[in-house]
C-alpha cells in the first residue's frame, strides 16, 4: 500500500515536528555525555528512545503526550542511572563494563581476550593503528568500556597509574 489518506500524512508530519522538538529538548537536558562514545547500556537506551520516537510518529493509538512522557521517562531514568553510577561503585559495575587489559608487557593475555571475545589480530590492528611496529614496544593494550582500544607504549607508561581501575593491570602474564 502506497497511500492511505491525507489525514494520516498530515498527522505524521505534525507528530514528527512536535516529537522532534521534544527529542531535541531531551538530548539537551541529558547533557554532553549523552553524545559521547557509548557503552552497551547507553546504546540500548538510545535504541529504546528511537523505538519510542518511531511509535509516537506512526502509531495512531499513542497520543503525543503519552509518547513524550515515555521519552521523558527514558531520559530521566538514563540521567538518574548516570548520576547514581558516578556516586556508587555498585551501580557503576551494574551498568558499565570494566576496562580490561588484553596485552601487558608485550604479551597477549589470551584468557582475558577469550572472555572479551577479542581476536589477537584485533589487538595487533590496534597497535598498528597507533604507529607501533613491534608488540614488544607496547606496555599495555586496554579494551575500554566503549569497545575501543587504548594502546600504551613502554615509553608512555610512566608509573602506570592510568591503569588503576583496569582488570588484569599490573599482573604478570605467565
Domain ranges of the chain: 6-95, 100-163
Averaged pLDDT for residues 144-161: 88
**pTM of the predicted model, to two decimals?**
0.62
Q: Which three cell numbers stand for residue 69?
A: 512522557
Distance CA 88, CA 92 (A): 6
Q: 84-109 pLDDT, tens per residue?
A: 988 998 988 888 778 899 999 989 99
pLDDT value of position 103: 94
Q: Is 31 left (phi over 0), alpha (psi -120 to 50) or beta?
A: left
Superfamily for the 100-163 domain: bsu07140 like domains (3.30.240.20)
Label residues 125-151 b or e (16+ Cβ within 10 Å = b): ebbeeeebeebeebbbbbbebeeebbb
Instruction: Reply yes or no on whether the pLDDT at 112 is more than 80.
Output: yes
Query: pLDDT band for position 119 (50/70/90)?
Result: very high
List, for residues 43-83, the tens digit of each pLDDT value. Answer: 788 888 889 888 988 888 988 888 888 888 888 888 888 88
Task: Please say whether the beta carbons of 58 and 12 come within 8 A.
Answer: yes
Across residues 145-150, what is the average pLDDT?
87
Q: Give long-range contacts, CB 8 A cutoff, 24+ apart: 150-153.
A: 150/99, 151/126, 151/127
Distance between first and last Cα of the chain: 64
Nearest residue to 53 via CA among 63, 41, 74, 67: 67
Residues of the chain with pLDDT > 70: what percent?
A: 89
Amino acid at each position: 500500500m502506497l497511500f492511505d489518506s491525507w489525514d494520516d500524512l498530515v498527522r505524521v508530519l505534525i507528530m514528527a515536528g512536535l516529537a522532534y522538538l521534544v527529542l531535541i529538548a531531551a538530548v539537551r537536558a541529558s547533557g554532553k555525555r549523552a553524545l559521547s562514545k557509548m557503552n552497551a547500556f547507553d546504546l540500548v537506551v538510545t535504541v529504546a528512545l528511537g523505538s519510542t520516537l518511531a511509535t509516537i510518529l506512526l502509531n495512531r493509538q499513542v497520543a503525543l503526550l503519552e509518547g513524550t512522557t515515555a521519552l521523558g521517562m527514558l531520559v530521566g531514568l538514563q540521567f538518574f542511572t548516570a548520576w547514581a553510577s558516578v556516586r556508587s561503585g555498585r551501580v557503576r559495575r551494574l551498568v558499565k563494563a570494566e576496562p580490561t587489559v588484553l596485552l601487558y608487557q608485550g604479551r597477549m593475555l589470551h584468557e582475558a581476550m577469550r572472555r572479551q571475545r577479542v581476536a589477537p589480530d584485533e589487538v595487533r590492528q590496534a597497535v598498528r593503528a597507533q604507529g607501533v611496529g613491534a608488540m614488544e614496544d607496547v606496555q599495555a593494550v586496554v579494551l575500554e568500556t566503549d569497545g575501543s582500544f587504548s594502546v600504551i607504549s613502554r615509553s608512555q607508561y610512566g608509573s602506570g597509574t592510568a591503569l588503576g581501575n583496569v582488570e588484569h593491570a599490573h599482573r604478570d602474564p605467565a
